[in-house]
Structure 1
Amino acid sequence: MKLLIKNCTVLTMAKKGEMLENAYVAIEDGNIVQVGQGESDTGWVADRVIDGAGVVCMPGLVNTHTHAAMSLLRSYADDLPLMEWLQEKIWPLEAKLTTDHVYNGTKLAALEMIKSGTTCFADQYFFMSDVGKAVEEAGMRAVLARGMIGLNQNADLALAESEEFITEWNGAAKGRITAVMGPHAPYTCPPPYMEKVLKLAEKLNVGIHIHLAETKSEVNQIRDEYQKTPIELVSDQGVLDFPTIAAHCVHLTDSDIDILKAKNVGVAHNPESNMKLASGIAPINKLLQAGINVGIGTDGAASNNNLDMIEEMRSAALLQKVATEDPTVMDAYQVLQMATVGGAKVLNLDDKIGTVEVGKRADLILIDLNKPHLQPKHKVYANIVYAAIASDVDTVIVDGEVVMESREVKTLDEAEVIEGANSAVKELVD
């Protein structure tokens, strides 16, 4: 199909501050084939035209770390520290989850993400084939990992399920799904188990999605057991020799930062979850100054409590400013980069998405600027980071397919998804 978006403002994210007024984006077979100002080439005729008057067209937002099905646990266990939250509330309830619960929870998360402008997300959970089915139906792009904990009786089963999932789903949904390995963290995956994980990752030629240095208690535990920081431990184990998505990275030494840079690790920053669980403030400004790829994630809705990347961008910017007592840190454009092309780099997808450029896949969102809180338009990208809200996202396109238009999601029945999620929760909690 040939799709043309015309009369819009294009925020390309390809060059700092590049914004094209009265512009167009031409899409064919899911690829961006033309970007320019004025009229598209006269020899190219679209099958469908979207009039973008009054809207900004930009890359879709990339959520670099979440646990989608945990949308079912939203507001279930609030106001607790991480380990108590996990061990006494979350893990016991997760032990009761079924494939149906995870499928319905993931569809609820996908609906929420689409309606707030996220086109791609990285997920680590279990029953991942059901997550894959939900992603495929929603029309989203995703990097999926079967979460693995090496300390329980299901440790070897998790390895077997990971291999089965990756074999079946890597490259599925017309290439929109990437499958990777998901060891939970160094404190739940001891060295003998991590060795098995890495052997399987090498066999399947895939990357790693892991939680690292999220809390002081984790860092202290790893130091007590191994006389190393979590970053030093996984680096020495060879984890970081694989393409790695490192979630959180809150408590880092200068040496840790040097390792992350040397190993080209992508960091998924989750400011709101880290604030809510009082895990600490990640040194994002130092990571960016070191040249490390940093994206933004929401973490799961059980510790956030939403999957709104626009809100997460604003939190990321304000948190770094107050932590450093420097208002120039993390300017609006840099934060928008982190949520788009930066996120794509963290997920190793920047050859496909993250910018509005010829040759990229058409993962795009249209934001309606005709709102009082988005006027006047001194700096459009600053308005998006500091003033926009999720409902300003009018249209979402993934892989050249329109998945939401005029706030109506085309791929999912909203009422049906909500009913399915509530039924799943009632069954789970009862």
Structure 2
Amino acid sequence: METKTILIKDITILNPDLGNVKEFQGSVLIENDKIAKIGNNINESVDKVIDGKGKILMPGLVNTHNHISMNLFRGLADDLELNTWLNDHIWPMESHLNSNYCYIGALLAAVEMIKSGTTTFNDMYFYMGSVAQAIDKAGIRGVLSYGMIDFGDEEKREHEFKENIDLIKDFNNSANGRITCRFGPHSPVTCSKELLERVREEANKYNVGIHIHMNETQKEIKDVVDSTGMRPFEYLNSLNFLSSDVLAAHCVWLSDNEIDILKQKDVQVSHNPCSNMKLASGIAPVSKLLNKGVNVSIGTDGVASNNNLDLFEEMKFASLLQKVNDLNPEVLPSNQVFNMATINGAKALSLDKDIGSIEVGKKADLILLDKKSINMTPDSKISSSNLVYSANGSDVLTTICNGQILMEDKKILCLNEDKVKSLANEAILEMKNL
């Protein structure tokens, strides 16, 4: 049964605030899917009251780059460079995927995200209709795109457009608005000029965004330069592809000119520190991008190259990686990283009018954390610092998305966690034996 009204009483609230983080004590009233009131003395008659003493309330985390069905591939191939990892391990296993396996992988990822405080994710993969069905059932918010690859093959290209357009027609703005869709050209290396140009036209036609991998490895840069005479963002800019509705994942190897293009075209960036470190792809110049005024958010990438979906862990690594790269402990402080995982992520997905901060009228996508957990004790004067450097996903007690409680006091309410784990174990065993 749906809970229509929820009152979260007397809690420490953390909220993005003009580049900083605002911390205050208060209560929050949720009516249906939205935040109705924020204040100190809310005495409404409600369906449910949550006692906030000893807890932190913050916006649900936003994971801006993922391949959630790859949760089935956790630990499948580790300690390998990207091309070996892809060609010898991941792509052969992906050839065995079907709609049921992708559905199960999506359920598995949904449980992990709910348990670790992520309420919104941005995904690019295959059998995305099945992923949409899983996300509808799980109750979280998803931005879905089909991973389009044509390698210059016209017949393959037409198939990719049919898949992505069908996804948009069938699922965009579905599940009470929790599911939106985008176009997902994989990268400038795997997509032809014809595909990229048409993606821009179709995205304009359907009024949806674009999700693409960019500048992840040095080899990718060389391949694009060799084939076009331009670096990847220069190439896409020459095609009039870039705009504020483009979310570019990784952006590890960037020239100064490309950074200027990102700023000029208001391109959104998803930083994936753990995946970039694990695959030894390099270190994205996040502090330089932020100083230029580029909007940078945080993603995990798929579990096959991470190997989890814990955005609290990702926040810490993002900050520490910039500090050691710049040899400056003052760069990318905790407030900035907190914003990257919340309001910046919402903006990157064109959802900042609805999510990413705790404001009256916004969707009730909220998480509650335990201030009393051993790794959060003693309580820091600056809670955002404690969250970024001390917390992890296991400190999340309660997860609310679109006004519905998906997990309460660490108990998943929307799915049968044991059943999902069992299905996932069975699925990967079947795939390994194919």
TM exceeds 0.5? yes
Q: What does residue 418 of structure 2 align with? A: 415
Which of residues 17, 21, 46 is equivalent to 1:17? 21
Partners of 2:47 and 2:376 lie apart in 1 by 32
**Equivalent residues in 2 for 1:378-417 (5 A)?**
378-417=381-420
Letter in 2 for 1:168: D
Which of residues 204, 207, 219 is equivalent to 1:205? 207
Which of residues 306, 311, 314 is equivalent to 2:313? 311
| SS at 1:147 equivalent | strand
Q: Given the alignment of the two structures, is residue 287 of structure 1 paired with residue 277 of structure 2, yes or no?
A: no
Residues 317 and 330 in structure 1, CA contact (< 8 A), matched pair in contact too:
yes
Q: What does residue 79 of structure 2 align with? A: 79
| SS at 1:240 equivalent | coil
Residues 72 and 105 in structure 1, CA contact (< 8 A), matched pair in contact too:
yes
Residues 374 and 383 in structure 1, CA contact (< 8 A), matched pair in contact too:
yes
Partners of 2:15 and 2:224 lie apart in 1 by 42
Partners of 2:244 and 2:91 lie apart in 1 by 28
| SS at 2:11 equivalent | strand
**Equivalent residues in 2 for 1:87-98 (5 A)?**
87-98=87-98
Q: Which segment is superposed worse, 239-248 or 2-11?
A: 239-248
| SS at 1:78 equivalent | coil
Letter in 2 for 1:380: S
Partners of 1:48 and 1:138 lie apart in 2 by 21
1:57 offset after TM fit, Å?
Answer: 0.4
Partners of 1:126 and 1:204 lie apart in 2 by 20
Partners of 2:201 and 2:46 lie apart in 1 by 48
| SS at 2:331 equivalent | coil
1:26 offset after TM fit, Å?
Answer: 0.6
Residues 364 and 397 in structure 1, CA contact (< 8 A), matched pair in contact too:
yes
| SS at 1:75 equivalent | coil
**Equivalent residues in 2 for 1:351-366 (5 A)?**
351-366=353-368
Residues 208 and 239 in structure 1, CA contact (< 8 A), matched pair in contact too:
no
Partners of 2:348 and 2:244 lie apart in 1 by 13
Residues 271 and 315 in structure 1, CA contact (< 8 A), matched pair in contact too:
yes
Q: Which segment is superposed worse, 153-162 or 317-326?
A: 153-162
| SS at 2:176 equivalent | helix
1:242 offset after TM fit, Å?
Answer: 6.0
1:241 offset after TM fit, Å?
Answer: 3.1
Gaps of 5+ in 2: none
Q: What does residue 70 of structure 2 align with? A: 70
**Equivalent residues in 2 for 1:180-259 (5 A)?**
180-241=182-243, 243-259=245-261
| SS at 1:316 equivalent | helix
Residues 403 and 409 in structure 1, CA contact (< 8 A), matched pair in contact too:
yes
Residues 145 and 209 in structure 1, CA contact (< 8 A), matched pair in contact too:
yes
Partners of 1:180 and 1:49 lie apart in 2 by 37
Partners of 2:92 and 2:203 lie apart in 1 by 29
Partners of 2:17 and 2:27 lie apart in 1 by 16
Partners of 1:259 and 1:321 lie apart in 2 by 25
C-alpha root-mean-square deviation of aligned residues, in Å?
A: 1.1
Partners of 1:7 and 1:267 lie apart in 2 by 36
Q: Cα deviation per residue 1:65-122 (whole Å; 9 max; x = unaligned)?
A: 0000001111111111112211221112111101000000011011111110000000
1:154 offset after TM fit, Å?
Answer: 3.5
Partners of 1:154 and 1:109 lie apart in 2 by 29
Partners of 1:238 and 1:77 lie apart in 2 by 37
TM-score by length of structure 1 reads: 0.97
**Equivalent residues in 2 for 1:259-338 (5 A)?**
259-338=261-340
Letter in 1 for 2:79: D
Partners of 2:260 and 2:252 lie apart in 1 by 15
TM-score by length of structure 2 reads: 0.96
Residues 244 and 266 in structure 2, CA contact (< 8 A), matched pair in contact too:
no
1:301 offset after TM fit, Å?
Answer: 0.2
Q: Cα deviation per residue 1:270-294 (whole Å; 9 max; x = unaligned)?
A: 0000000000000000000011111
Q: Cα deviation per residue 1:284-315 (whole Å; 9 max; x = unaligned)?
A: 00000011111000000000011110100000
1:349 offset after TM fit, Å?
Answer: 0.6
Residues 279 and 305 in structure 2, CA contact (< 8 A), matched pair in contact too:
yes
Q: Percent identity?
A: 47
| SS at 2:242 equivalent | helix
Between Structure 1 and Structure 2, how many residues are aligned?
426
Partners of 1:258 and 1:11 lie apart in 2 by 33
Letter in 1 for 2:88: E
Letter in 2 for 1:19: E
| SS at 1:241 equivalent | coil
Q: Cα deviation per residue 1:315-344 (whole Å; 9 max; x = unaligned)?
A: 000000000000000001110110011111
1:200 offset after TM fit, Å?
Answer: 2.2
Residues 206 and 242 in structure 1, CA contact (< 8 A), matched pair in contact too:
no
Q: What does residue 369 of structure 1 align with? A: 371
Which of residues 8, 27, 33 is equivalent to 1:5? 8
